[in-house]
Amino acid sequence: MIRIFLALLIASLAALPASAQRVKDLGGFQGIRTNQLTGYGVVVGLPGTGDDNLEYTVQSMRGVTSRFGFQLPAGVSPSLKNAAVVMITAELPAFAKPGQKLDITVSSMGKSKSLRGGTLIMTPLLGADGQIYAMAQGNLAVGGLGAEGADGSSIVVNTPSSGRIPEGATVERVVDTGFDKAPFLTFNLARADFTTAQRVQDAINVRFGGGRARAIDGVSIAVSAPPGSDVRAEMMSEIENLTVEAAEAPARVIVNARTGTVVINSAVRVSPAAVTHGKLTVRIDEAQRVSQPNPFSQGQTAMEQNSTVGVEEEKRPMFLLSPGPKLADVVKAVNAIGASPADLVAILEALKEAGALKAELVIL
């Protein structure tokens, strides 16, 4: 049975194109996305690492205490070394329902050096429309550590002024995606490509019938779908699991000049070209020489500077790039002359200027 299963698995894999991908790996449906939430709150219970008497911390604490009918006396400014004002951020997944939990990140806004040991007081999390979508509260988990001595010396590990609360927020409101009411579904590719968009359109039409999908542009494919959330959910599931042979990426050479990283994709081609890359080294050696006066000359011992300047040029042979070499040939030829990443960048730029590099050169 095991041999039969392996044979069927190999046969099924062999039947798929080498670069076949699921539609869900190429993009996503419009409107089915996460939403960012933010909130402003107060963390209490800190071991003396709070904001102290920062004005907006005092105002925030007045607001917190007023919820419970307690008013601080006029003119009283408490020392709040155990409290800190913070910003809370979270991501609300698509189709999140009331009662579900969200992970949140809590970051200090004021002078607090560490949130370790703190507890976030109940805080509303707002969406971009100003509506409350979740409520946050809980004990912080802080991975950073900070310590300070009496003489001012200190040590900080990671970032103690930021922490997380796993499942620290509860969803209170549903975000309407509108996928069950829209006249049609729109699938958006993560990377614009007219060829890939056309192939996704064709795959959907083969599965559900001609004319069901049409490519609007290089990113979006509109799919007509019957009304009803259950019917559309089933249809979207089938579309996401269709396999499509994605178009080959445009020929690009990515160069990060700061780190010396060079990435060349498999579509890069080079026209016939002869390349040589020399290396000029200027060397300056400094030495000091002691000059002694003649006997009885009443002179003084002196130090003289002795400099030696030399120029060395490394001899490197010229190499020939054959017509239309592939990526492996380019790498092999460059490695043959022992080019460093900086040398490789210079060679690629020269090839581009000469018109021999058939690719887009992107400098980061």
Phi, psi angle pair for 321, to nearest 5°: -90, 120
Highest mean pLDDT among 117-121, 140-144, 277-281: 117-121
- pLDDT score recorded for residue 266: 75
C-beta atoms surrounding 222 within 10 Å: 18
Checking phi first, is residue 168 left (phi over 0); if not, alpha (psi -120 to 50) or beta? alpha
Burial class (CB in 10 A: 0-12, 13-18, 19+), 165: buried
Nearest-angstrom CA–CA distance, 107 and 89: 8
The band of 194, judged by pLDDT with boundaries at 50, 70 and 90, is very high
Phi, psi angle pair for 217, to nearest 5°: -155, -160
Nearest-angstrom CA–CA distance, 201 and 224: 12
Report residue 298 CA to chain centroid gap.
Answer: 74
What tokens does 35 get? 């939403």
3-state secondary structure of 86: strand
Contacts (Cβ under 8 Å, ≥6 apart) of 6: none
Nearest-angstrom CA–CA distance, 269 and 246: 20
Nearest-angstrom CA–CA distance, 228 and 55: 53
- pLDDT score recorded for residue 361: 81
Contacts (Cβ under 8 Å, ≥6 apart) of 19: 245, 246, 248
Instruction: Match 């041999």 to its residue by tokens.
Output: 3
The band of 331, judged by pLDDT with boundaries at 50, 70 and 90, is low
- Estimate the crossing angle of helix 229-240 against helix 194-208, to 10 degrees: 120
Nearest-angstrom CA–CA distance, 204 and 214: 9
Instruction: Match 């959330």 to its residue by tokens.
Output: 229
- pLDDT score recorded for residue 131: 93
Percent of residues, the chain, with pLDDT higher than 90: 28
C-beta atoms surrounding 71 within 10 Å: 10
The band of 347, judged by pLDDT with boundaries at 50, 70 and 90, is confident
C-alpha R_g of the chain = 33
CA-to-CA dists, residue 171 to 94, 123, 140, 265, angstroms: 12, 12, 19, 44
Residues 276/319, Cβ–Cβ less than 8 Å: yes
Residues 112/140, Cβ–Cβ less than 8 Å: no
Nearest-angstrom CA–CA distance, 28 and 179: 12
What tokens does 306 get? 């002795």
pLDDT at 330 over 70: no
Instruction: Match 């995606």 to its residue by tokens.
Output: 177
- pLDDT score recorded for residue 46: 87
What tokens does 68 get? 């419970």
Minimum mean pLDDT range among 14-28, 35-49, 87-101, 310-324: 310-324
What tokens does 160 get? 């103690």
Nearest-angstrom CA–CA distance, 290 and 307: 14
Per-domain residue ranges of the chain: 16-31+178-245, 35-171, 252-281+313-363
pLDDT at 191 over 70: yes
